[in-house]
Chains A and B, each alone.
Chain A
């Protein structure tokens, strides 16, 4: 069962070169998938194609087995939620409350129910104390949490995080990781797709897809991909810190076995 499926998709802006060429991609339902690629690998374009913000030139895109076209657009958008990179540019309301209400208004949710829904979802990202705060008084991480709560309140089946942590400081990044981990645990039916160049997000993924020049280079689970330093380097990515260390040790003649656990590695030394 696929949540999102790309079949032979082509895309390019105007008459320029194709950014994405003959792309085939499948995001499995109910899984946490990480799409890895360097700056300019075409990974954000995929997110925009999947929710119909951009239109592909060739090929077809399916969301929950529904073909993405003009007619089905609204249906598909009600299933897919997306959180973008810049926390400032997706905060629409004047306060946290208003921002979270924005999506509900679009769905024509009854006004009397809104406060309840807002409070419920704000507490899921631990923002219930900031409901009346204005965006200028919130940190980047807090704004992103509001963005996540805002789209979750619309009850999507699929959540896409399009480089949602890349502009945040370490504290903000950590906050978002916690939210994702929590979601993964509590909402096992939800498909989460994280588009990123941060390898740390891939450590607890169900599946990793590596993208380069608008093409899928490799699909696999963390243990298949994260140890493959050559593959990662070739695609302008970096292996997780611990994998780099293991390789360095082995090269220097200090033999260690592969592990993603720091304690395990230290024990071997």
Chain B
């Protein structure tokens, strides 16, 4: 059940995207996310979609992976559709039997769905082409300017340890579930009360072992003279190349273009609140 997670999984390869500096990719991720959240209108969204398709081709991620990573969205989409159908009463009314639905409810849902697809695609490309360890280093580097306020190194160390232990903890979860199933626990069926009990029989051992692990890990780190506040050298160093700069500049230009597009009303009015907010900002 937990082995089907594709979202956020690194896929080893050696494509153009794999070779980009992780810091560059992290910045690109931010830029794309901002762009997606701004209401950039029909033209903007189609352009962005095309850019995304090019990115997928360049990063050699199979369509199958993308579709699989979109899987967890279905439930959310149905939920949004239902809410929209109830709340939105504008646009052309359509009569299906005794129920009346409005066209805008459908369009609104489609818009949200499209944005979500773009959002998940961006993060899929990012995580599929960047090693988790490199992400943490990129975070540490990019946020280095925060050093006087927070210790970014601790944050990045925490993330990398979390990433390191995800497979171990999944393995453990699997093992405890099997052990409890052998003691007659049914994790699937049963009444609410029984279910609560079966979850407890999984969660408590999991926590107990996670605490024991963290204790031992802390000992092992401290014994190897680790001190997060002391000066440390670093084994992994990132290399920023000219192509990273070029890509970054191109993306910023693209973002600037979209913002202009949105502000100057060239876009269809898709009544997003961010759009209004930005317009107000420029007045």
Task: Tell me if chains A and B make direct contact, with any CB pair below 8 A.
Answer: yes
Is B225's CB under 8 angstroms from A90's CB?
Answer: no
Is B213's CB under 8 angstroms from A81's CB?
Answer: no
Q: How far is the CA of A97 from the CA of B161 in the complex (A)?
A: 15
Q: Answer whether residue B232 sits at the interface, using C-beta atoms and an 8 A cutoff.
A: yes
B-side contacts of A84, CB under 8 Å: 216, 219-220, 223
Contacts A89-B213, A89-B216; A102 near B226 (Cβ below 8 A): yes
Is A88's CB under 8 angstroms from B224's CB?
Answer: no
Q: Answer whether residue A129 sits at the interface, using C-beta atoms and an 8 A cutoff.
A: no
Contact with B along A124-137 (1 / 0, CB 8 A): 00000000000110
Contact with B along A92-134 (1 / 0, CB 8 A): 1111011001111111111100100000000000000000000
Is A89's CB under 8 angstroms from B220's CB?
Answer: yes
Is A92's CB under 8 angstroms from B225's CB?
Answer: no
Q: How far is the CA of A119 from the CA of B7 in the complex (A)?
A: 34
Q: Answer whether residue A216 sits at the interface, using C-beta atoms and an 8 A cutoff.
A: no
Contact with A along B147-178 (1 / 0, CB 8 A): 00000000000001101100110000000000
Which partner residue on chain B sits nearest A90 by CB separation? B220
Give the size of the chain A interface in residues (CB under 8 angstroms). 40
In chain A, residues 228-260, which have Cβ atoms closer than 8 Å to a Cβ of chain B? Answer: none
In chain B, residues 219-278, which have Cβ atoms closer than 8 Å to a Cβ of chain A? Answer: 219-227, 230-237
Q: Answer whether residue A82 sits at the interface, using C-beta atoms and an 8 A cutoff.
A: yes
Is A106's CB under 8 angstroms from B216's CB?
Answer: no
Question: Of the candidates A48, A74, A91, A108, which one forms a contact with B232 in the assembled complex, judged by CB atoms under 8 Å apart?
Answer: A108
Q: Answer whether residue B133 sits at the interface, using C-beta atoms and an 8 A cutoff.
A: yes
What's the count of A-B pairs with C-beta under 8 Å?
93
Contacts A84-B219, A86-B216, A89-B213; A103 near B233 (Cβ below 8 A): no
Question: Interface centre among B131, B161, B168, B235, by most A CB within 10 Å?
Answer: B235
A-side contacts of B230, CB under 8 Å: 106
* Chain B nearest Cβ from A114, distance in angstroms: 5
Is B236's CB under 8 angstroms from A98's CB?
Answer: yes
Which partner residue on chain A sits nearest B134 by CB separation? A94
Question: Of the candidates A74, A97, A104, A154, which one forms a contact with B233 in the assembled complex, judged by CB atoms under 8 Å apart?
Answer: A104
* Chain A nearest Cβ from B81, distance in angstroms: 40
B-side contacts of A109, CB under 8 Å: 233
Q: Answer whether residue B49 sits at the interface, using C-beta atoms and an 8 A cutoff.
A: no
Is B233's CB under 8 angstroms from A110's CB?
Answer: yes
Q: Answer whether residue B53 sits at the interface, using C-beta atoms and an 8 A cutoff.
A: no
Is A107's CB under 8 angstroms from B219's CB?
Answer: no
Contacts A92-B217, A104-B233, A105-B233; A81 near B164 (Cβ below 8 A): no
Contacts A94-B163, A97-B235; A88 near B222 (Cβ below 8 A): no
Is A105's CB under 8 angstroms from B232's CB?
Answer: yes
Q: How far is the CA of A114 from the CA of B212 in the complex (A)?
A: 31
Is B223's CB under 8 angstroms from A81's CB?
Answer: yes
* Chain B nearest Cβ from A122, distance in angstroms: 14
Question: Of the candidates A82, A94, A97, which one forms a contact with B164 in the assembled complex, judged by CB atoms under 8 Å apart?
Answer: A94
Is A103's CB under 8 angstroms from B216's CB?
Answer: no
B-side contacts of A85, CB under 8 Å: 216
Which partner residue on chain B sits nearest A102 by CB separation? B224
Contacts A51-B223, A74-B225, A88-B168; A105 near B234 (Cβ below 8 A): yes
- What are 28 A-B pairs at a CB distance below 8 A? A53-B222, A77-B222, A77-B223, A89-B213, A90-B216, A91-B164, A92-B164, A92-B217, A94-B131, A94-B133, A94-B160, A95-B133, A98-B235, A102-B226, A104-B235, A106-B224, A106-B226, A106-B232, A107-B225, A107-B233, A108-B231, A108-B233, A109-B233, A111-B237, A114-B233, A135-B164, A151-B223, A151-B224
Residues in chain B within 8 A of chain A (CB atoms): 131-133, 160-161, 163-164, 167-168, 212-213, 216-217, 219-227, 230-237
Of all A-B residue pairs in the complex, the 3 with the closest CB atoms, nearest first, are: A101-B235, A90-B220, A89-B216
